[in-house]
Structure 1
């Protein structure tokens, strides 16, 4: 067969979903990312995508005020995936693209989310939007021979 492999989307696909501005958004976002990646047998690492999505959504809920919904945007590309979380606060996330002067205390409950995003994504960043900001990460496609058998 000379056609495209099943695990690669022939054209970029994307999902945009509004989530409640509450901790309940975290498991919903994880499930949405898992479903999006599984629907088309996408080759990005689903577990890592879920973990990093949960960190972005939790940060957005914790560090923004009000009840404006958080928006989750998942883009599936032939080269991997990009996940964005939009929130109403225009202030950039602390130390996302550059490590801060202090390393997080491993015994503390908080403070490691941005470190995880920097360490596990192929790239990450933030950009201003009309209503606040978008914080994003990218994960590369995982070659089929390196993925666990289902």
Structure 2
């Protein structure tokens, strides 16, 4: 996949699926897609949080799964909020996604906080097996209009 992303927009106007390269270059592409999707549809989920958590999921998929095949980003906008999934080829569940780790992240390390952020900032998160590996996901609720920044 020569570094360019394949973009597919399914029949539903509130759902996107994109194949991303299994490299760090996938992170900014995923962030941009999520931000654009939320803005285009004037969706009420928090864009900054959605972008941050998407970056964490994609970075984890790139860093912690083997292979060179693409990973996949799925974004669904719903009346109640948005759901973002990242599909990767590794069937092993992500460590400590749905339950806190025994030890807090080392304050001197640059990494180790991604899953903590996803747990803390999403309304729910999890993972599920897929035919080709797993999908890791999070949901964000719609923020009431009166609570949104002007």
Q: Normalization by structure 2: what TM-score?
A: 0.91
Q: Which residue of 2 aligns with 1:39?
A: 40
Task: Output the CA distance in 2 between the equivalents of 1:12 and 1:145.
Answer: 26
Measured after TM superposition, the shift of residue 12 of structure 1 is 7.3
CA distance in 1, matches of 2:95, 2:55: 17
Contact preservation (8 Å) 1:33, 1:49: yes
Map 1:1-150 → 2, pairs under 5 A: 13-149=14-150
C-alpha distance in 2, partners of 1:39/1:142?
Answer: 16
> For residues 30 and 94 of structure 2, what CA distance do their matches in structure 1 show?
19
Instruction: Assess if the C-alpha contact under 8 Å between 1:44 and 1:141 holds in 2.
Output: yes
What is the CA RMSD across the aligned residues, in angstroms?
A: 1.0
Superposed displacement of residue 110, structure 1: 0.7
| C-alpha deviation, 1:105, in angstroms | 1.2
Secondary structure of residue in 1 paired with 2:76: strand
Shift of 1:121: 0.2
| Structure number with bigger Rg | 1
> Which runs of 5 or more residues in structure 2 are unaligned?
1-11
TM score, norm. by length of structure 1: 0.91
Q: How many residues align?
A: 139
| CA distance in structure 2 between the aligned counterparts of 1:21 and 1:68, rounded to whole angstroms | 6
Shift of residue 106 of structure 1?
2.0
Going from structure 1 to structure 2, the CA distance change for 1:124 and 1:12 (only over 3 Å counts) comes to farther
Q: Matches of 2:25 and 2:13 in 1, distance apart?
A: 29
**Deviant stretches of 4+, over 6 Å:** none
**CA displacement, residues 7-51 of structure 1 (integer Å, 9 cap, x when unaligned):** xxxx87210000000000000000000000001100000000000
Distance in 2 (CA, whole Å) between partners of 1:73 and 1:142 is: 21
- Report the 3-state secondary structure (helix = DSSP H, G, I; strand = E; otherwise coil) of the residue aligned with 1:139: strand
